[in-house]
Amino acid sequence: MTGATRVLVLNAGSSSVKYQLIDMVDGSRLASGLVERIGESGGRLVHAPHGREKREVSALFADHAAALKAVAEELTADGLGLDSPELAAIGHRVVHGGLRFTEPTLVTEEVLAEIRRLIPVAPLHNPANITGVEVARALRPDLPQVAVFDTAFHATMPEYAARYAIDRRTADEHRVRRYGFHGTSHQYVSRATARLLGKDPAEVNVIVLHLGNGGSVSAVSGGVCVDTSMGLTPLEGLVMGTRSGDIDPGVVFHLHRVGGLSIDQIDELLNRRSGLLGLCGDNDMREVMRRADEGDAEAKLAFDAYVHRLRKYLGGYYAVLGRVDAVAFTAGVGENAAPVRAAACAGLEELGIAVDPELNAVRSGEARVISPEYSRVTVAVVPTDEELEIARQSFALVHQT
Ligand code: ADP
């Protein structure tokens, strides 16, 4: 590979920016880091150049522009500045691509305007993603900026899985449908799982369980997503760290009419004070498991509710796919919490699903099989790498245009 081979991946959140500089020759990280508490006191930049000491900068980062400028300075100090001719593109994680963006997309004014138009369906995420693009573009106006959408991989869901069973006209007028999220991770992990099985993605059916702070499950058939647990917003589906996941919409009416809560208060309740946190006061699965082991009843209930929902999706997507070749656990909880994996798969031998306790207990950063030899379905732990996937897709787009 010759010419510019590096991609800077930016993931801009409402008050943070995460970044990785990746060399596409071998996928290696040249640097990574994050800026936290942008626009607040106690701002912090942690910069980790590959093979060198990590550096920390504490400062007030007034806005995303100030934060990215500071990142650019750190990169320059390592000889990896944004002015480098080796930089091929900047790849941006953009959460909501609506119906229009189903592929990685070169950012133009028109594309930015469309991402802006989607803000009502992604009010927490798209504004920060847009800011990330604008600031990066100001720093290197000549460089291709590529948007990689969290929703894109799910665009193949059949209409009957994507539609809510509500009045069509109302739904269409407000663009209400199931979009799904974490798509970059589901795509990466479903392909990596096929590789682990030594097969082509087109040959295998995989259920991917992405269990991080947020969590979602997807059913992937022959490399194509056919259903996923998140919907119009990332609130639907699993019990998550702080989100309720599936809930009777009647709860919202009840809390509003009878409980007197405003719509904003209910939004905050379901997004930030529910899930594991709502059930037991802790949203970190490590803490929930530690307390449950000590006999704490609330933590045990939170763990059981989390696993119960997961099993419902596992069983449901088994039925959706008809034949399942692999179940893949990924993200913070999926990669690290052996008890969650064991509980999610317990008693499913009739479905061909089993977990070997010894293999499940192995700690490793590698993709690995945790089911016994005899298991018809391969159960695996497959570490996700959304940044590498964003970099790959951005690089591929720049090279084909
Ligand atoms: P995000 O959704 O923020 O990207 P991650 O995929 O990094 O989240 O997952 C973060 C979550 O992973 C933490 O909240 C924690 O509950 C869980 N986690 C991380 N390490 C462990 C571990 N060793 N055991 C159990 N859970 C873990």
pLDDT tens string 104-113: 999 999 999 9
pLDDT band at 1 (very low <50, low <70, confident <90, very high): low
Place of tokens 């060399």: 23
CATH number corresponding to 199-386? 3.30.420.40
Give per-residue pLDDT as tens, 354-400: 999 999 999 999 999 999 999 999 999 999 999 999 999 999 999 87
What proportion of the chain, given as a percentage, has pLDDT over 90?
90
Q: Is 150 a catalytic residue?
A: yes
Give per-residue pLDDT as tens, 149-163: 999 999 999 999 999
CB 356 within 8 A of CB 372: yes
Tell which one of 310, 333, 390 to mutate to probe ligand 1, the residue whose CB is within 8 A of the most ligand atoms: 333
Quote the tokens at residue 27: 């996928």
Catalytic residue chosen out of the listed positions 142, 150, 267, 284: 150
Say if strands 224-228 and 145-149 run parallel, antiparallel, or are unpaired: unpaired
Judge whether residue 91 has pLDDT over 60. Answer: yes
Note the pLDDT of residue 301: 98
Note the pLDDT of residue 15: 85
Q: Is the beta carbon of 340 within 6 A of some atom in ligand 1?
A: no
Q: Is the beta carbon of 234 within 6 A of some atom in ligand 1?
A: no
Note the pLDDT of residue 143: 94
pLDDT band at 401 (very low <50, low <70, confident <90, very high): low
Q: Where are the domains of the chain?
A: 6-149, 199-386
Tell which one of 243, 284, 307 to mutate to probe ligand 1, the residue whose CB is within 8 A of the most ligand atoms: 284
* Interatomic CA distance for residues 75 and 48, integer angstroms: 10
* Section 158-186 average pLDDT: 97
Query: What is the CA(335)–ligand 1 centre distance, in A?
Result: 8
Note the pLDDT of residue 123: 80
Q: Is the beta carbon of 242 within 6 A of some atom in ligand 1?
A: no
Q: Where are the beta strands (DSSP E) in 250-319?
A: none
Contacts of 342 (CB under 8 A, 6+ apart): 355, 357, 360
Degrees to nearest 5, angle at CA 277 with 271 and 283? 100
Q: Of the given ranges (122-126, 142-146, 235-239), which has the lowest mean pLDDT?
A: 122-126
Homologous superfamily assigned to 6-149? ATPase, nucleotide binding domain (3.30.420.40)
Q: Where are the beta strands (DSSP E) in 37-168?
A: 44-49, 55-58, 87-94, 105-106, 145-149
| 6-149 and 199-386 have identical folds | yes
* Interatomic CA distance for residues 114 and 90, integer angstroms: 19
